[in-house]
Amino acid sequence: MLFGWCFIKRRRADRSAVLPDRKDVTMEVGFMDAYVRLLIQTCHRRRVAAMGGMSAQIPIKNDPQANEVAMAKVRADKLREVTNGHDGTWIAHPLINQIAMEIFNKHMLGPHQYHVRREDVKVAAADLLNTKVPGKITVDGLKSNVSTSLGYSAAWLGGNGCIPLHWLMEDAA
């Protein structure tokens, strides 16, 4: 979610741009969806592969129900990516490879989707800056962000830029 990080960094002083809890800022919200559609359109116009993002979910050991919920999120992410026109994807854990491959092999009938031109896409600057995201800012969300920030920072300072935290893969993007 590099675009999300850049968005926050650039607009950090704008009180109208404060986003709700991280769990509510998904790839389906307006500004994230707008950037994805524009990315696919731009890449395919230039005949360059449009790569999907990383689903942060990782397999959850010893909890089959929680694992199924996490893998359902991965399936939904990968299906959204391939049907939007992405040419490939990124995974956070080797055990997710089979899920991604099955979905992309079923829906992408060649080595790329350059034919998906997304000429229907009309993204304006306002679409990329739209902070009207449903959700709330909660104490639990703040605690989660602080915990993740501290855990990731400690790992990064120790030389590891990609770590599992709270059953999600966290990285510099």
Q: Which pLDDT belongs to residue 2?
A: 62
Task: Look at the chain and count its residues.
Answer: 173
131/142 same-domain check = no
Number of separate domains in the chain? 2
67/49 same-domain check = yes
Domain hosting 6: range is: 2-136
Q: Which pLDDT belongs to residue 173?
A: 64
Q: DSSP letter string over 64-133?
A: HHHHHHHHHHHHHHHHHHHHHT-SEEE-SSGGGHHHHHHHHHHH--SS--TT---TT----HHHHT----
68/100 same-domain check = yes
10 pLDDT band (50/70/90 cuts)? Answer: confident
What does the pLDDT look like over 26-60, one tens digit per residue? Answer: 999 999 999 999 999 999 999 999 999 988 999 99
Q: What is the pTM of this model?
A: 0.88
How many CB atoms lie under 10 A from the CB of residue 58? 21
85/160 same-domain check = no
CA angle 42/48/54 to nearest 5° reads 85
Cβ atoms of residues 90 and 51 within 8 Å: yes
Q: Which pLDDT belongs to residue 7?
A: 78
